[in-house]
Structure 1
Amino acid sequence: MNVSAMIKLTVSMAIFGSIGFFTINTGIPALELVFVRCICATLFLGLMWYFTGGHKTEAWNKKEVLQTLLCGVFLVLNWVFLFKAFEEMAISITISIYNLAPIFVLILGTLFLKERLTIRGVLAIAICFIGSIFIVGIENFQSIDQFIDSGFVWALLSAICYALTMFTSKTLHSLSPYATTFLQTIVGIVMLLPLCNFSVFQGLTTTNWLYIIGTGVIHTGFVYYLFFDSIRNLPTIVVSVLTFVDPVVAILLDTILLDFSPSIFQSIGILLVFGGIILTIVKPKKEGNPSKV
């Protein structure tokens, strides 16, 4: 096992777990924050790509470039919806819904790649569905408008877009991670530039700017550098397990720093969602295969 890669991935997930806390302290709306994030990521990862010499050996493939650009659209929408959800819901609840993405990947694989949906997969989907109902607390909403305004829809859309990001990037092989992310964040800049309201940047405090720059440089540039530098040197199962560091840190920060206190039903819902996700990513050992000692 590559210990260095494990440490890098764990650190990247732990840092990313604090993104919700940073987001709500930036003082700007989701769309403008994602725009800044795309600029920071483009500059940071573009420079890393250049100085490591990766741009000289890049294997460009027209089909993969187009696929990466489509993936970039989903990635940017994922960020926008996630940050909008943070504006409306507690970080813990948002992150729990957001982490339904692997379940949506499972469903997409069944619908479009004709992958076989096992009983285990169906059970995981059912558990996560029940858990999400417990988390959002349907009984607390008196109307459709109140339900939509709760932020649940934004969190769900972010999970779907994250799943589409993972789904469309599954067959990317020739492009390097640096080139892939560079193209995706360029897409974000082009998409969001016409929609940005730059007046929101007026009157911001020094603290606001520190959180904004931190979200862009630390949570995007530095985290993605650590992530890409480690993920290719670790088995899929290890990567899947270590990604749970992200929601754990997010929920701890939400509880300790922001005094979030989930209800009993919400706590049960969170446990059900993560239980269903674990059921999805941890594959059972095939019968008849002796375990290695």
Structure 2
Amino acid sequence: MNHCPTSPNRSGLIEMILAMTICGTIGLTVTLSGLPETQLIFFRCLFGALILGLLCWHQGIFSQTRYTPTFWIASLIGGTALLANWYFLFSAYAKTSVGIATTVYNTQPFMMVLICLFLFKEKITKSIVFWLLVSFGGLYLISSTQIHSGKPYSGYLTGIFEALAAAALYAVASVAAKFLKNYPPTLIAFYQMLLGVVIFLPFADFNLFTQTAPVSLSAAVTLGVVHTGLMYVFLYGAIQKLEAYKVASLSFLYPVLALLIDRCFFNIHLEPEQFFGVILILTGAAGINLKALFQHILTTHFIR
């Protein structure tokens, strides 16, 4: 009877697939809302903080946690970077497309490598340089030709740079999280959402609940409850149960689903060179993210 030990792994796979499916629909939800980025971020943080706060309270995390200056400083830096990342990513959706912005956003592993190179003097290998060149070759192909969306090319390029800025800011948030390894991820996320509520409160328009179209209201609530609270629960549950290489491999469901949404919901067609650019970016990111996969296969099946 050896099926019991695999059940956490199986549930982790399901949770990761659900988390990435939810992530893949963020762009669709943002676009359908028709609301300004600042409004969306405020309500995402508000409802996200409620869900995550209840979860932390239910698990007794608040009473068990010992806070240090490092926690507050790293949470502040990481939270600010995460919020700015959302702003630029949401803005990029409107200027490019959900699929293009999400694909460019997936250059974040390279941003992480570059930040660690400068901050922690980590070595950069020839393979990393190769995958970096592959990914940025794809970025050039995506940027060189505009998609047929009726949007001005200058705005399209701005959206590309905003998606890159979002990727860099997410990498900053990830580096800040390195200093918070001893704290529950749900607690970190809760305080980051709380920070967002405070920062974006001046932009909040509570008439959203009475004077806004049902679609916009539903999108704002969904973004906070499903795409923040529920997604974090699934994502962190998966990370705790799965090996790193499985998390990295399944994370590519996110951009693939975003590209399918472009095609199915917005009827956006990529030019051949842009499609090839998407392949290059995702391949380059895979070269970094899935390195652990090849190491795992090698050590498990060939090295005894």
Q: TM-score, normalised by structure 2?
A: 0.88
CA contact (8 A) 2:88 2:166 kept: yes
Asked if 1:266 corresponds to 2:274, the answer is yes
Paired residue secondary structure (1:24): helix
Q: Secondary structure at the match of 2:295?
A: coil
Partner of 1:246: 254
CA contact (8 A) 1:60 1:174 kept: no
Who is 2:188 aligned against? 180
Between the aligned partners of 1:40 and 1:127, the Cα distance in structure 2 is 39
* 8 A contact 1:91–1:251 mirrored in 2: yes
Instruction: Map residues 185-264 of structure 1 onto 2, 5 A cutoff.
Output: 185-194=193-202, 196=203, 198=205, 201=208, 203-264=211-272
Number of aligned residue pairs: give it.
288
1:285 aligned partner: 295
In structure 2, relative to structure 1, the CA distance for the partners of 1:26 and 1:207 (3 Å cut) is: same
From 90, 94, 98, the counterpart of 2:105:
98
| Structure 1 match to 2:116 | 109
Q: Relative to 1, partners in 2 of residues 1:199 and 1:89: Cα closer, same or farther, differing over 3 Å?
A: farther
Q: Is residue 131 of structure 1 aligned with residue 138 of structure 2?
A: yes
Match of residue 72, structure 1, among 54, 76, 79? 79
Letter in structure 1 aligned against 2:172: L
Give the equivalent residue in structure 1 for 2:89.
Answer: 82
Alignment partner of 1:7 is 2:14: yes
Residue 158 in structure 1 maps to residue 166 in structure 2: yes
1: CA distance between counterparts of 2:178 and 2:136? 25
* CA deviation map 1:142-164 (0-9, x unaligned): xxx92576411211111111111
Distance in 1 between residues matched to 2:57 and 2:125, nearest whole Å: 44
Residue type of the alignment partner of 2:187: A
The letter for the 2-side match of 1:182 is: F
Structure 1, 204-213 or 52-61: larger mean CA deviation: 52-61
Match of 1:43 in 2: 50
Please identify runs of 4+ aligned residues in structure 1 that moved more than 3 A. 147-150, 199-203
**Partner amino acid for 2:123?**
R
Report the Cα distance in structure 2 between the residues aligned to 1:274 and 1:134, rounded to whole angstroms: 13
Matched residue, 1:26: 33
Aligned-residue offset at 1:225 = 1.2
Q: Which residue in the other structure is 2:176 paired with? A: 168
Q: How does 1:54-65 map to 2 (within 5 A)?
A: 54-65=61-72
Structure 1 position 197, deviation (Å): 5.7
Q: Please state how far the C-alpha of 1:190 moved relative to its aligned partner.
A: 1.7
Identity, % of aligned pairs? 26
1:159-213 alpha-carbon deviations (Å, 9 max, x no partner):
111111112112312221121011111111122223x162883742112211111
Query: Does the CA-based 8 Å contact 1:27-1:204 persist in structure 2?
Result: no
Structure with a larger share of its residues in helix: 2
